[in-house]
Amino acid sequence: MKKGKKSMKVKSEVIGEPTHILKLLNKIDTELCNNFFEMKARTQIREMVGNLPLILDDMDSKDEDFQNLPENKIKSLWKELEDKSELLKRNKEQFHLQVQVGLLHKGYPQGNPMYHTWIERTKMELEEDQMKIDSKLKIINPMFEFQNNKRWKEIQIKMTTRKIKATKENLKLVEQQVEEVKNDITAQNEKIKNRRVQILEELEKLGEDVKELKKKAPDYIN
């Protein structure tokens, strides 16, 4: 079957001749009407046929001519506006959760508590460990005899000192990452606000009524 090229704008895609596919689909339709298939076969057929709209939707998304049709452009712009509005809403109303998600992408342990809770708890633990060092582990009423042993105290002070150093380094890293994520969210919000303005202008040019939306601030949330 020869493949011809058309003027349709598609990035890095070969334009195929649909005649063969249409014949196959017609044959499938005929076979389905003239035969009875078992439940397992029907499920397999339904799954395979069900993928066809998804494949065609993917083609639509890559077809610039299709996307630039006024009705499709309008639909696409409204969808983009809705998605960006939802993201801005999450960034504002669920700020801590959005920061937590960003930290997870940077390697923050999945099982750890919320970052602000972890930071607060870690700082208190550091304060407590420093108290132990400052007191030189002086025990007033030891429960065990070895707690009065000088060597035992030296070991505890050494281990606690190492723990403090490692914890401070970890805390510093997490706090730096928190600031990075917060800055990323702030920058993302600015991009959303700017893009919102552009989308409304594009919709207005396409004949859509966006007067009420244009009256609102770019960072409004529903």
User: Do the beta carbons of residue 11 and residue 62 sit within 8 Å?
Assistant: yes
Q: How confident is the model at residue 142 (pLDDT cuts 50, 70, 90)?
A: confident
Half-sphere exposure of 126 (CA within 13 A, CB side): 15
pLDDT at 38: 82
Q: What residue spans define the domains of the chain?
A: 19-62, 70-215
Pick the closest to residue 115 from 163, 178, 172 (CA basis).
178
**Predicted confidence (pLDDT) per residue in 186-207, tens digit:** 999 999 999 999 999 999 998 9
Confidence of residue 6 (pLDDT cuts 50, 70, 90): very low
Between the two ends of the chain, the Cα-to-Cα distance in Å is 54
Percent of the chain with pLDDT over 90: 43
Using pLDDT thresholds of 50, 70 and 90, give the confidence band for residue 8: very low
Q: Are 20 and 31 in contact (CB under 8 A)?
A: no
Mean pLDDT value across the chain: 83
Checking if the pLDDT of 209 tops 80, the result is: yes
* 108 CB neighbour count, 10 Å cutoff: 19
| pLDDT at residue 113 greater than cutoff 60 | yes
**Joined tokens for residue 15:** 């334009």
pLDDT at 44 over 50: yes
Quote the crossing angle between the two packed helices 150-205 and 115-134, to the nearest 10°. Answer: 160
Split at pLDDT 50, 70, 90, the class of 66 is low
Confidence of residue 67 (pLDDT cuts 50, 70, 90): low
